[in-house]
Structure 1
Amino acid sequence: MDKNIVVPVLLFLCVTYAFKLLLDARMRYLMLRASSAEAVQALMAGEQGLRRQAALHGGLVALSLGLALSVVSALGWGPAHPGTWGLVLSALGVARLAAYAWERRVGP
């Protein structure tokens, strides 16, 4: 890819993400300042549950991608082989469904 295209796009994405982080921090500050102690504890407990679910989701996706790429390597397929893409995308789908089933079974 041409650097004249990639650098401005990445710069835009970084600036946008930084702006989002600032807005989120400001909203959290306003919420925490105006809330009671019980509301703050409930907010923190909810965020802890979301972090745990995100870790579970990321772990399942990484595990399934690793297994899929190991199978691709064992079969000797290259990156241009259609089976490679099918296996990797199906592994992602299975991981997302497994994370959904786990969250639904265990709960937040």
Structure 2
Amino acid sequence: MILWFTIVQVAVAVIAGLFCVIAGLAGRRPSDFTVGAMALLELLLIAQIVMGIVAPLVGNSPTGSLLEFWVYLVSAALLPIAGVGWALLERSRWSTVIMGIAALAVAVMVWRMYTIWTVQLA
């Protein structure tokens, strides 16, 4: 994984998460802005999937468990999809909060993926 891209992903996830949680607690239903924030987060995760495939092929292999890394990555990529799906089905203020919680969970998972990739757990 690339440190600067990890930081960008975590920052976007935290900003999107806080935006969705605050909007939901303020009584806002899912909108183009909240769903768009989740879509941006999903695009970054798709880019991370591509990097996760390419990086070992060019010599940037993980030092931790590759299986654990991929489980985190696939799970993190599914969270925004599930959150937006929920929001589009329910369309209440609480579904906006759920999208925010999903984005905050992705922030934690991305940082954990970076730790797995770069820190040897011998």
TM over 0.5: no
TM range (shorter): 0.3 to 0.5
Provide TM-score, normalisation by structure 2.
0.32
Name which one, 1 or 2, has greater alpha-carbon Rg. 1
Provide TM-score, normalisation by structure 1.
0.35
